[in-house]
Amino acid sequence: MKTLLILRHAKSSWDDPDLRDYDRPLNKRGKKDAPRMGKLIKDAKLIPDRILSSSAKRARNTAKRFSKACGYTGKIKKLDNLYHAPVGVYFETLQSLQEKYKKILVVGHNPTMEQLIHNLTGQYHQMPTAALAHIQLPIYEWETLSPYTEGTLIDLWTPRTLSND
Mean of per-residue pLDDT scores for the chain: 96
Instruction: State pLDDT tens for residues 75-95.
Output: 999 999 999 999 999 999 999
Residue 86: asked if its preceding bond is cis (omega within 30°), the reply is no
State the average pLDDT over residues 84-107: 97
For position 7, which CATH number holds?
Answer: 3.40.50.1240
The b/e string for 10-27 (b: 16+ C-beta within 10 A; e otherwise) is: bbbbeeeeeeeeeebebb
Burial zone of 146 (CB within 10 Å; 0-12 exposed, 13-18 middle, 19+ buried): exposed
Total domain count for the chain?
A: 1
Instruction: State pLDDT tens for residues 131-163.
Output: 999 999 999 999 999 999 999 999 999 999 886
pLDDT confidence of residue 17: 87
**Structural domain boundaries enclosing 60:** 2-161
